[in-house]
Amino acid sequence: MIKPKIFKCISCSDAPDLNRVLWGGKRHGILERLNAGEVVVGDGGYVMQLERRGYVKAGHWTPEAAVEHPEAVRQLHKEFLRAGADVIQTFTFYCSDDKLELSGNVTTITGAQINDAACNLAGEVANEGGALVAGGVSQTPCYLKTNSETEVKAIFKKQMDYFLQKDIDFFIVEFFEHVEEAVWAVEVLKSSRKPVAATLCIAPQGDMNGVPPGECAVRLVKAGADIVGINCHLDPLTGVRTVKMMKEGLEKAGLRAHLMVQPLGFHTPECNIGGYVSLPEFPFALETRAMTRWDVHKYAREAYKAGIRYIGGCCGFEPYHIRAIAEELSAERGFLPPGSEKHGLWGAALEFHTKPWVRARARREYWENLLPASGRPKCPSMATPADGYQND
């Protein structure tokens, strides 16, 4: 495992130098980094974060902001990069033409325009810090409407061609509820000869057709996926649990792949197959379920212990959550992210507070053992998902 000889905060402007330290003078790709045993920190959620900032319309969740408000997308990319992200994903969630047409929210902007703008933004910011650019494709309305492999693959092929014009570093197949459709996406994208990561938004009980996580992983790897895992829908520790099941499935089948997890940034103890969209708080009242940075420290450590080396976040993961991943695994990575320049590890900067009871919180033990109150005495600790699914 190659490690730098330094342990300090690295500014984004110094990142190319850091890249040389880490990789011996050559900018290695995602598989080279993972093959070397490095921890790769992913970025966080874009759709929900930009909705809260006024740039995405809830319900549609389409990414036209890449064209309409590029400065907003660029700023969020920059914040994730400063927080420690090694990968910047293109803001192309739900960017297939059939989804854009179905939403009715985008009438004057094409999928091609969004892909072009999103790739330019991601590439511009990634180059500021030596990060990789991942082109993301997600599930399509066409799959549920027609279940036509030919039609669905044609959609993925069209998206792939856009990305290849921009020479992205690798692909991420993300937010797929049905492994069959994800397999089709992997088969198409693998023809590009670029690395392909595939993440499903599934529960420990499997995909929406009941295919177990282990079997899902086997199908994805046989289709050509280099990295497999989960994203979105459920909380981090449930995500780690699900990826462990995928790992077990691969081992039983005699297959190998790198593991990846980019879960939801909210607590969802009562959720199951339907995920957080089944909660009564979705999508406008999820704030009380938000993960703290200390929750994310625990998640990052559990993911690492499980053998997962690509660790990031999805909806609900803000830049400070990504910084928490980078800080928790700073010893393994050999450096702290630029954002740590303004953050005392485990509350260390509180030592300078004027109140003694606040100064007493400047220690790891306090934050690791804290049980946060909600401040809502009449609210329940959990809710009943609308779809009726309960966790085991």
What dihedral do alpha carbons 118, 124, 128, 133 form, nearest 10°? Answer: 50
Give just the sign of the alpha carbon dihedral 120, 123, 126, 127.
Answer: negative
State how far the Cα of 251 lies from the Cα of 249, in Å rounded to an integer: 5
State how far the Cα of 44 lies from the Cα of 199, in Å rounded to an integer: 14
Half-sphere exposure of 155 (CA within 13 A, CB side): 26
State how far the Cα of 101 lies from the Cα of 2, in Å rounded to an integer: 47
Give whole-number Cα distances, 18 to 3, 213, 223, 306, 336, in Å: 10, 37, 35, 27, 11
State how far the Cα of 23 lies from the Cα of 21, in Å rounded to an integer: 6
Q: Is 119 annotated as a binding residue?
A: no
> 259, 308 in Cβ contact below 8 A?
yes
> 259, 247 in Cβ contact below 8 A?
yes
How deeply is 149 buried, as exposed, middle or buried, from its count of CB atoms within 10 A (0-12, 13-18, 19+)?
A: middle
Please enumerate in sequence order all residues whose Cβ is within 8 A of that of 342, keeping only pairs 6 or more positions apart, or say none: none
Buried b (16+ CB within 10 A) or exposed e, 70-96: bebbbebbbbbbbbbbbbbbbbbbbbb
Q: Is 232 annotated as a binding residue?
A: yes
Give whole-number Cα distances, 303 to 262, 357, 385, in Å: 10, 33, 26
Amino acid (one-letter) located at 172: I
Nearest to 33 by CA among 16, 45, 19: 19
Residues in binding site for Zn(2+)? 232, 314-315
Residues in binding site? 232, 314-315
